[in-house]
Amino acid sequence: MGSSGSHLSGVWAKVTDLKVVRGEGCRVFDVNGDAYLDFTAGIAAASTGHCHPTVVKAIAEQAHRFVHAQVNVYEHDLLEPVAARLAELTPPSIDTFFFSNSSDEILEAAVKVAKHATGRSSIITFDGAFHGRTLLTMAMSTSRAIDREGYGPFPSGVHVAPFPDPHASDQESEISRALRGLDRLFQTQIVARDVAAIFVEPVIGERGYIPTPPAFVAGLAERCAEHGILFIADETQSGFGRTGKMFAIEAHDVEPDILCMAKGIASGFPFAALGMRRSIDDKWRPGSHGGSSNGTPIGCAAALATIEVLTADGFLDNVRNRGTQLIDELRNFQQLDDALLHVRGRGLMVATEFDTPERAAAIVEHCLEHSKVILMTAGTRKRTIRWMPPLIVTADEIDEATAAFSAAIRATG
């Protein structure tokens, strides 16, 4: 037992010290019965909110039919329906699906299939990207050096290309600079014909909710086409309605070869999917990948129910409207406080960036202590507060959260 009297590992970073017993909609309830407005949505995973009745019902019903049906041994009856539904929702290039439990597993699977499909050994990620915490996905992640500290050396074959600085005043030349950096990487580090894939977050997540500029994405897609490199979109955080579109990549004029999906896909139930072109899957050697709990029946049920909620008439309109409301309300505070440097976002993937990490942390703490609103930071220097409520959030709940923010700004200024 640890010195705190707990049998739990101390490795998890803590956003709050709350001990919670249940969740409902946008709220979680702690052991004292106090309700907290959860604007983290379990780090953008609880897409339909906590315990959405449609999702709970589907999970409960499925638990009575099958908890575990191992995919190598037999095929249960929800695998094809989930794949068929995803084929309808994902970009037209994506028609074939592999299922697993977490984004890390899906990102690793993406690297493996890209290697088989191209016969090439290396991949490219971008400066500031975050793709996970296994050793390979950490090798792909450069959002914060402290997350990598003490864990190296990492798997080789991962090259990090420049990402345009979102705060550069001349965005056009900044994007050209970053693309030239990639071209130079092909001259100095690895020839393009050895690169299997590039991994792109259509909206950068952990580094601080930065929409990836369309001209940059277009430049990457051009280079992929020229050199036979697969374009892989990591939609772990930005997918399933988070940005007001089913997938954030829809805002770009590109058809990804592979799409990584997790978090919101099953309302936070551990489930993740890799979408790809059939021609890519055809080159994935049968039997060369898998896992005991791939495509679990309960995960599939949770995903189907989540998709039912997210595709209901007007659902994504609400995400866009609430996102606009949130950004408008947050922008008002820029007139009050010079420390609030930037307000940005797409849909309900919104960021408020402050001048110092201390100020951002003080505001998060004030919102929790005084208003029972849960927020959390992001970014390399943790100067950004990210706003990622459940997608079912109401206008009143947005007002409640921004009122908490207003009080915190005044109290900590």
The 43-82 contact track toward ligand PLP, x by CB under 6 A, reads x---------------------------------------
* Lookup: tokens for 43: 């780090």
Nearer to ligand PLP, 45 or 339 (CB): 45
Integer CA distances (angstroms), 382 to 270, 333, 376, in order: 27, 19, 9
Question: What is the distance between the alpha carbons of residues 108 and 117, in angstroms, rounded to a whole number?
Answer: 14
Nearer to ligand PLP, 105 or 353 (CB): 105
Residue 130 binds ligand PLP (CB under 6 A): yes
Question: What is the distance between the alpha carbons of residues 37 and 101, in angstroms, rounded to a whole number?
Answer: 27
Residue 108 binds ligand PLP (CB under 6 A): no
Residue 205 binds ligand PLP (CB under 6 A): yes
Give φ, ψ of 263 to 5 degrees. Answer: 40, -95
Site for ligand PLP in 252-281 (CB under 6 A): 262-263
Residue 90 near residue 83 (C-beta atoms within 8 A) = no
If you compute the radius of gyration of the chain from its CA atoms, what whole number of angstroms results? 21
Residue 105 binds ligand PLP (CB under 6 A): no
Nearer to ligand PLP, 131 or 223 (CB): 131
Integer CA distances (angstroms), 207 to 17, 167, 331, 351, in order: 24, 13, 21, 11
Residue 383 binds ligand PLP (CB under 6 A): no
Nearer to ligand PLP, 131 or 383 (CB): 131
Nearer to ligand PLP, 127 or 337 (CB): 127
Nearest to 114 by CA among 235, 224, 240: 224
Task: Classify residue 152 by its DSSP letter.
Answer: P
Region binding ligand PLP by CB under 6 A among candidate stretches 7-15, 128-136, 207-215, 330-338 = 128-136
Amino acid (1-letter code) at residue 104? D
Using CB under 6 A, pick the residue from 95, 104, 108, 397 that binds ligand PLP: 104
Residue 237 binds ligand PLP (CB under 6 A): yes
Residue 208 binds ligand PLP (CB under 6 A): no
- Kind of pairing, strands 210-211 and 203-204? antiparallel
The label of the residue with tokens 């500290």 reads: 149
Which positions lie near ligand PLP, rule CB under 6 A?
43, 102-104, 130-132, 201, 205-206, 234, 236-237, 262-263
